Amino acid sequence: MSTGWIGLGKLGAPMAGHLARHLAAAGHPLLALDRDPARIAAVPGAEAADLDRIAACQIVITSLPDDAALRAVALGPDGLIARMAEGSVLVETSTVSPETSAEIRGAAEARGVLSLAAPVSGSTATAEAAALTLFCSGPEAALERARPLLATFARTIHNVGTAEEARYLKLAINHFVGSTAQIAAEALTLARKGGVAWETMLAVLGSSVAASPLVAYKLDPLRRRDFTPAFSVAQMLKDMSLAVAAGEATGVAMPVAALVRDLYAAQGRTDLRDLDFFAALLAAERKAGLGEPDRPE
């Protein structure tokens, strides 16, 4: 099965790497396209290809940063979809708005292309470990054809509908995640200001009713005060903005999401922009007049 990949960013590169190794074991290359040729060279088993060669593949997977990038690549008379063959499959893994996703699906259907929305849930670490979660919606036939390829980088694949359900679910999950970071920032800062030692606070948090898989995943970097981005403040601002817009479009009041979005927007205008989104903690601590906590040697 010929396979093409477009977009080798922080998540796309490790995802494509797992798929390329799988295809190489069967004697097939993964045709890849990215605006930075060095990214393609960094993925073993990937072969640089132009848009025409990518579009000629039976399955094409895209991993792009936002709505504008996806529309620029996929739509228009010279775009990806216009070049794809009838019966081929387009798998779109980016986090984009339901409206743009529906536009992509409509263009694909007009061309006879099966379009599968498959936004990714996870981080760079889970991508590198091939442990991502995919929310998929679209034609059942598209998912079944793509599933063996998607399983090379996703531990869990949820089939949630036939239209844009996957987009709404991804935004809902990211609302939970993004809001949790802001709540944690405020709560941890309050405890520190009240004199609770940093290590004690994190130990209690990890065994408390407030613990969750997300909190458990973040405890170690928090202990180390390591805000290397698994998912940046700027990226979370984009996703929270999409969630608020989706609420407005569907008539769902999103006051909490709007507040969280605005907090990320303010943090994104500072030196925190490219740090992990849990750097919201640093913003809260600064406002409270706190510096770095004392930690055991």
Residues designated catalytic = 170
**Residues 297/200, Cβ–Cβ less than 8 Å:** no
Report how far residue 169's alpha carbon sits from residue 18's, in angstroms, rounded to the nearest whole number: 25
Query: Helix (H, G, I), strand (E, B), or coil: what is residue 3?
Result: strand
Q: Give residue for tokens 């599968």.
A: 116
Q: DSSP letters of 35-80?
A: SSHHHHHTSTTEEE--HHHHHTSSEEEE--SSHHHHHHHH-STTSH
Calpha distance 136→234 (Å, rounded): 25
Token digits of residue 102: 């529906």
Tallying the residues shown for the chain, one arrives at 297
Distance CA 61, CA 103 (A): 17
In terms of C-beta density within 10 A (0-12 exposed, 13-18 middle, 19 or more buried), how is residue 289 classed?
A: exposed
Residue 290 tokens, joined: 């706190």
> What angle do helix axes 165-193 and 255-268 make, rounded to 10 degrees?
70
The torsion defined by the Cα of 62, 68, 73 and 78, in degrees rounded to 10, comes to 160
